[in-house]
């Protein structure tokens, strides 16, 4: 019986992400059909080790799939890879009518950043830091004392980070 088996040296990395793939399939296979999950495919006829490179500007998952085929049947194995960008595009805004007001004053911060996995918020008023996933589009904060505050937001993933400031 065909047995599609392969290993990768790691399943997570930074773009450009080099992954070493080793075909360990068994079963008198005459063809190996590779789908790299990024629009590229290949067909080989031997067990071998090779490197594939993944590029992305946003956090992406790629399903790396092997189909091993012999004269009796086919078998499939899939490994999911996580590739992180080496850049973060920070986009955080506040509605203009929320830039000032009377205490207690609640401000909604709108996040449409790309490339980050987490954001750490320092609202500038000595309140505890708040950590949110980048997928969270809005963050609310209530200021309880009068003043002008500088907000710092650290955006990060496992490859890079950046900090932006808003007053």
Is residue 90 within 8 A of residue 164, CB to CB? The reply is yes
Percent of the chain with pLDDT over 90: 93
> Token pair for residue 151?
């907000």
Q: What is the pLDDT of residue 19?
A: 97
Do strands 151-156 and 41-44 pair parallel, antiparallel, or not at all (unpaired)?
A: unpaired
Model confidence over 37-86: pLDDT tens digits? Answer: 999 999 999 899 999 999 999 999 999 999 999 999 999 999 999 999 99
CA distances from 130 to 24, 108, 137 (A): 46, 14, 14
CA gap 11, 79 in Å, rounded: 8
Q: Model confidence at 97, in pLDDT bands (50, 70, 90)?
A: confident
Q: What is the pLDDT of residue 162?
A: 93
pLDDT surpassing 80 at residue 16 = yes
pLDDT surpassing 90 at residue 1 = no
Q: What is the pLDDT of residue 15?
A: 95
In sequence order, what are the residues at sequence separation of 6 or more whose Cβ sits closer than 8 angstroms to the Cβ of residue 104? 142, 143, 144
pLDDT surpassing 90 at residue 166 = no
**Across residues 89-115, what is the average pLDDT?**
93
CA gap 59, 64 in Å, rounded: 16
In sequence order, what are the residues at sequence separation of 6 or more whose Cβ sits closer than 8 angstroms to the Cβ of residue 42? 33, 34, 36
Place of tokens 């609202």: 123
**Across residues 104-129, what is the average pLDDT?**
96
Q: Model confidence at 96, in pLDDT bands (50, 70, 90)?
A: confident
pLDDT surpassing 80 at residue 167 = no
pLDDT surpassing 80 at residue 139 = yes
- Show contacts of 70-75: CB within 8 Å, 24+ apart: 70/1, 70/2, 70/27, 70/28, 70/29, 70/30, 71/28, 71/30, 72/1, 72/2, 73/1, 73/2, 74/2, 74/4, 75/1, 75/2, 75/3, 75/4, 75/25, 75/27
Q: Model confidence at 107, in pLDDT bands (50, 70, 90)?
A: very high
Q: Please give the model's pTM, rounded to 2 decimal places.
A: 0.79
């Amino acid at each position: 019986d065909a047995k599609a088996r392969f290993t990768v040296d790691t399943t997570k990395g930074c773009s450009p992400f080099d992954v070493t793939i080793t075909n360990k399939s068994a079963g008198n296979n005459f063809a190996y059909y590779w789908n790299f999950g990024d629009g590229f495919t290949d067909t080989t006829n031997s067990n071998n080790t090779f490197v594939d490179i993944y590029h992305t500007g946003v956090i992406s998952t790629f399903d790396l799939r092997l189909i091993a085929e012999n004269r009796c049947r086919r078998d499939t194995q899939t490994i999911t890879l996580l590739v992180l960008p080496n850049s973060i595009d920070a986009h955080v805004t506040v509605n203009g009518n929320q830039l000032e007001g009377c205490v207690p004053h609640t401000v909604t911060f709108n996040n449409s950043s790309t490339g980050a996995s987490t954001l750490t918020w320092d609202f500038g008023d000595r309140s505890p830091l708040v950590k949110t996933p980048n997928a969270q589009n809005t963050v609310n904060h209530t200021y309880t004392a009068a003043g002008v505050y500088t907000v710092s937001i650290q955006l990060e993933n496992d490859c890079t980070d950046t900090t932006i400031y808003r007053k």
